[in-house]
């Protein structure tokens, strides 16, 4: 049963289009990945001073 469920979830999340509004035919996995913020290339500068 677990194998069948795993196979279904792969199809459900990677093959079929998401049915939500504004998804533009993307799969749930594509929508999820598009929603993850891209990491910054460099660490942001801070104005912190070392503790005394």
pLDDT of residue 29: 93
Would you call 21 exposed, middle or buried from its count of C-beta atoms within 10 A (0-12, 13-18, 19+)? exposed
| Distant-in-sequence, close-in-space partners of 23: CB < 8 Å, separation ≥ 6 | 17, 31
Give a yes or no: residue 31 inside a domain: yes
In a domain, 49, yes or no: no
Contact 31, 22 (CB under 8 A): no
Structural domain count, the chain: 1
pLDDT, position 7: 96
In a domain, 8, yes or no: yes
Helices and strands counted in the chain (H then E): 2, 0
Q: Does residue 52 lie in a domain region?
A: no
Task: Report yes or no on 45 lying in a domain.
Answer: no
Q: Is 5 helix (H, G, I), strand (E, B) or coil?
A: helix
* 29 domain residue, yes or no: yes
What three-state secondary structure class fits 30? Answer: helix
Indicate whether 10 belongs to any domain: yes
Q: How confident is the model over 16-49, as pLDDT tens digits?
A: 998 888 888 999 999 999 987 777 777 667 777 8
Range(s) of the domain holding residue 9: 2-15+24-35
Q: What is the pLDDT of residue 12?
A: 94
């Amino acid at each position: 049963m677990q194998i069948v469920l795993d196979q279904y979830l792969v199809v459900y999340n990677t093959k079929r289009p998401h049915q939500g509004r504004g998804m533009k035919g993307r799969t749930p996995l594509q929508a999820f990945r598009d929603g993850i913020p891209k990491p910054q290339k460099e660490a942001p500068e801070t104005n912190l001073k070392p503790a005394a």
